[in-house]
Chain A
C-alpha cells in the first residue's frame, strides 16, 4: 500500500516546464532515493510534494487523500515534513528554537522530542543556545533534520542532505537514517551523490530533465544503466 505517490505530476516556473509527468510512490516504512544531476527536477519534485509549489490536486496523493493543491502548512500538518535544500535554518532563532518551531502549533505524540533529538545529535545540546546559523554546515544539517523530525512526521523528505558537506560529515549525517526509520518514518532522500543514495535506499528513482528515467532496487540496477539514466549518455 503506497503512503505517498505522485501521478503524472507536472510543474512549471512561468514559461519553463520543470517536470513532465512524474509518477513515483513511497510505501509505508520504506526509504526511497531520488537521484539525478543538477536541473533534473528533483528539488521541484520536493517542492511540489511539500506544497510550496501548488499543483492539480490529484497529482499528489498521501494516505488516500489528494493533496496536490494543498498549501505547505497544511501538508506539513498531515504528517509530511521536509528538510529543505540548503538547510534554511531561521537566523533569528537559536538552535533549540529552530527545533521547537518544527512542532509549531501542534502537540505531537511520538518518539521525537528535544531529548531524543539531542541524544541522536549530542553536539546540538551543547550548542542549543547559539543562533542556528552560527553552526558548521554539518551541524546546521543536523538542526534541519531535527527540526523536521520534531513534528513526528509519517514521511520525511530530505532534499540534498550532502550538499556542500565534507564526506566524513555526510557519513555522520547518514548514520542517523536507521534511527529515523526505526522511529516509524518513511523517507524520501534526494541526492546527487549516487553512492550514498544506493547505500541507504530500498528503491531508487533516477531523474533527468524533468522525467523519471530509471527506477528499481539498488541491487537490480547496474552501474551503466544508472549512468545512462543520470547523464543521458554512456560514460
Chain B
C-alpha cells in the first residue's frame, strides 16, 4: 500500500514538473530557443508573488493575478529587446545570453532577498487532504496536477483554435513567409515568451506553496523541466506531462528507497529513456 501512495505522490509531483516544462517546451517549439534562465525565472516569479503577498497582504492565489501580467510583460520585453537579437542559425549566442541572464537573476535575487529560504503562505490548503479509500491525497498536490492539465488544455486550444496559435505555428515554420502575411515575427516570438512566462508564474505559485525556495534553486528546476521535455518528445505538450510524471514517480520511488537518492533517481530515469528512446516517448512526426 505504501507503494501505491508513493506512486500517486510521484504522479502529482509530475504535474509540478510539467508546469515547469510547458513554458520551456512552448518557447523551443516556436523559435528553437532554449532558455537557460527558465528555472531562475520560475524562482523570480515565486519571489514576485511573495512580494505581492507581503506588501499587499493578499493570499498567494490573488497575488498570482497581479503577478501574471507583470511576468507576461517581462517575458515580452526580454524577448523583444534582448533575445530576438540573438535568434538565428548559430545556437551559441542565445545559449550564452540566457546563461548570463541566469547568473544575473540568481545574484539579483540574492542581493534583494538574501539566501534565506522562503515559502508562500498556504493557510489550511497546505495541510488539507482528501481520503481516497485507504490513501490520503494532499489537496495542494492535486490542485497542482489539475492546473498542469488545465494549462496544457488551454495551450493546445490557443495553438490549434486561435488566430494567435496559427501565427505561432506559421512563424515557427517559416518566419519570412509569415511576414508576408502581415505577421511581425519579432512580436510573435515576444508574445510566445510572454505566454511562457505566465505559465512560469503559475508554476512559481505551486513551487512556492509546496516547498521552500531560495535564489539558488533555479538551475535544478530548469533541469527537471528539460528532462520532462526530452522524455516526452519535443513539441508534444501531453508528452511533456508524461515526462514530468516519469521524473516525479522516479524521484518519489527513489526517495522511498533512500532519501538521498531522490534527485539521482529522476536523472537516471531520464538517462534510461534517452538510451532506449532518444527522440522521447511521443516524438512529433515532422521535426
Task: Please determine if A and B sit in direct contact within the complex, based on CB atoms under 8 angstroms apart.
Answer: yes
Residues of A within 8 A of B (CB): 50-52, 71-73, 76-77, 81-82, 84, 88, 90-93, 97, 100-106, 147, 151
Total number of A-B contacts with CB less than 8 angstroms?
A: 70
State whether B166 touches A52 (Cβ < 8 A). Answer: no
A91 partner residues in chain B, CB cutoff 8 A: 173, 286
Shortest beta-carbon distance from B186 to chain A in Å: 9
With A88-B174, A90-B173 already in contact, the answer to whether A101 and B180 are too (CB < 8 A) is: no
State whether A105 touches B180 (Cβ < 8 A). Answer: no
With A100-B163, A105-B163 already in contact, the answer to whether A82 and B180 are too (CB < 8 A) is: yes
Q: Is B176 an interface residue (CB 8 A)?
A: yes
10 tightest A-B CB contacts, nearest first: A72-B179, A92-B169, A76-B182, A88-B177, A90-B173, A90-B170, A73-B179, A73-B184, A104-B181, A101-B166
State whether B180 touches A81 (Cβ < 8 A). Answer: yes
With A100-B163, A101-B167, A104-B166 already in contact, the answer to whether A52 and B180 are too (CB < 8 A) is: yes
State whether A72 touches B180 (Cβ < 8 A). Answer: yes
State whether B163 touches A104 (Cβ < 8 A). Answer: yes
Q: Is B183 an interface residue (CB 8 A)?
A: yes
Shortest beta-carbon distance from B184 to chain A in Å: 5
- Number of B interface residues at 8 Å Cβ cutoff, please give it: 18
* Majority-rule SS of B interface residues: helix
- In the bound complex, how far is the Cα of B108 from the Cα of A22, in angstroms? 55
State whether B180 touches A84 (Cβ < 8 A). Answer: yes
Q: Is B122 an interface residue (CB 8 A)?
A: no
Q: Looking across the interface, which residue of chain A has its beta carbon closest to that of B170?
A: A90
State whether B177 touches A90 (Cβ < 8 A). Answer: yes
State whether B183 touches A104 (Cβ < 8 A). Answer: yes
- In the bound complex, how far is the Cα of B179 from the Cα of A72, in angstroms? 6
A51 partner residues in chain B, CB cutoff 8 A: 179
- In the bound complex, how far is the Cα of B173 from the Cα of A91, in angstroms? 7
Listed residue (B170, B172, B176, B182) with the most chain A CB atoms within 10 angstroms of its CB: B182
State whether A104 touches B174 (Cβ < 8 A). Answer: no
- A-B pairs with beta carbons under 8 Å apart, 14 shown: A71-B179, A73-B180, A73-B184, A76-B181, A77-B182, A90-B177, A92-B169, A93-B173, A101-B163, A101-B178, A102-B181, A104-B163, A105-B182, A105-B183
Which residues 251-267 of B have a CB within 8 angstroms of A? none
Shortest beta-carbon distance from B208 to chain A in Å: 36
Q: Looking across the interface, which residue of chain A has its beta carbon closest to that of B286?
A: A91
State whether B179 touches A52 (Cβ < 8 A). Answer: yes
B183 partner residues in chain A, CB cutoff 8 A: 73, 101, 104-105
